A and B are shown apart, each in its own frame.
Chain A
């Protein structure tokens, strides 16, 4: 049985198919959005959250952290262990060990927000895979910094 919109439906349907094909052809002729990863890198977004790092003091190049322990106390996962001592002749303590258990960290950022001197920040490392998971249980965040001790 021929319904009222038989021919109209065919023409309309056919036109919509052409519209779809035009869209995919335009997609095909435009540049791909993906990045061939190991050879090219996509720009990281400015607020990217990697694991946390301890920042150096601009003047002394020592760790800015004075081991007050606020971050460790506020961490909901309890994954920060920090200790510090006074270098000879200094007024303040300086961190001499700062360990992060990255296997438990949820990257919430409370430590970064709670630090009274702004000594913590998110790093921009993301390709962290390793065969040894223990490497991430005790990440030494001071290893790239100059130590006063």
Chain B
């Protein structure tokens, strides 16, 4: 199917709405989950159960001045949040959220998402470098240091799934799980995938690049107003993409009884996002060296072994 400009416009409008709404709801949910896990209520004042709190915060952030620090690398500094956010609009295109809900059926959709997912790290590095701030720089360099430690296991996970489904197309992968979700065949791989996306989305216990208690706010220390909120939008959108991928790769995507496909997609996706939030408010942050040795000594050999075993079983 060819993409006309009209398609593109409709898609962009839809995806902007999705990115915005998703961030509004996830920020609210995150604060609620955080609150209740610590015997608090979380936001309660703005709107019913604080539902409009994020909107109020958003209005505040939009109205704030965008400050550029002295001697910062101005073009890079201003570019970084955009570099972080823009790939999302493309990366969401091949995501099938339902039998017929997919912007662009692409036979290498998975590859596209993986490639664009890496640009987030570039955005973080640009922000860290451009800010002329030691904490930001440390945060940015940490993001780059950890990338190999989780990307290789993550890619090996995905590769195993690709091997089982025999396709790079997300739609085919979801359809291949009609008689059994891959999580049933590969529970270990699912756990590793969840760990790897926790790393990929920079969330606690692996939030090294923004580590509040060590680096002020890490790479976005110097950002205010919209710069900061673009990073926020990007973070929650990457969570959305990573969880959507998890639901498609392991949980059969939109397939499920009774309810329509998109509803099942969203249920699975937000269940995984809730899992990530649950991690964040349970586990303390690791040290960067602990994470690196975890990535290289545990994740990588286990996924590699799993990959070889799966390949052997499939060959039989």
Contacts and interface: CB of A to CB of B under 8 A. Distances in A.
Interface of A: 10, 17, 20-21, 23-25, 27-28, 30-34, 36
B40 A34 contact: yes
B185 interface: no
B283 A27 contact: no
Interface in B118-155: none
A31 B39 CA distance: 7
B40 A32 contact: yes
B294 to A, nearest CB: 9
Interface stretch (B30-38, B54-62, B83-91): B30-38
A17 to B, nearest CB: 7
A34 B41 contact: yes
B40 A24 contact: no
Given A20-B283, A21-B282, A28 B33 contact: yes
B278 interface: yes
Given A23-B282, A28-B36, A33-B39, 16 more contacts: A10-B298, A17-B283, A24-B278, A24-B281, A24-B282, A25-B278, A27-B37, A27-B38, A28-B33, A28-B37, A31-B39, A32-B35, A32-B36, A33-B40, A34-B41, A36-B41
Nearest to A27: B37
A30 B282 contact: no
Interface in B267-284: 278-279, 281-283
A16 to B, nearest CB: 10
Contacts of A10: 298
A27 B36 contact: yes
A140 B35 CA distance: 42
B39 A27 contact: yes
Interface of B: 33, 35-41, 44, 278-279, 281-283, 298
B187 to A, nearest CB: 12
B37 to A, nearest CB: 5
A4 B38 CA distance: 38
A27 to B, nearest CB: 5
Contact of A30 (B35, B39, B281): B39
Contact of B39 (A17, A21, A32): A32
8 contacts: A10-B298, A20-B283, A21-B279, A21-B282, A24-B278, A32-B35, A33-B40, A34-B41
A20 B37 CA distance: 11
Nearest to A1: B297
Listed residue (B39, B41, B282) with the most chain A CB atoms within 10 angstroms of its CB: B282
Contacts of B279: 21
Contacts of A36: 41, 44
A31 to B, nearest CB: 8
Contacts of B40: 32-34
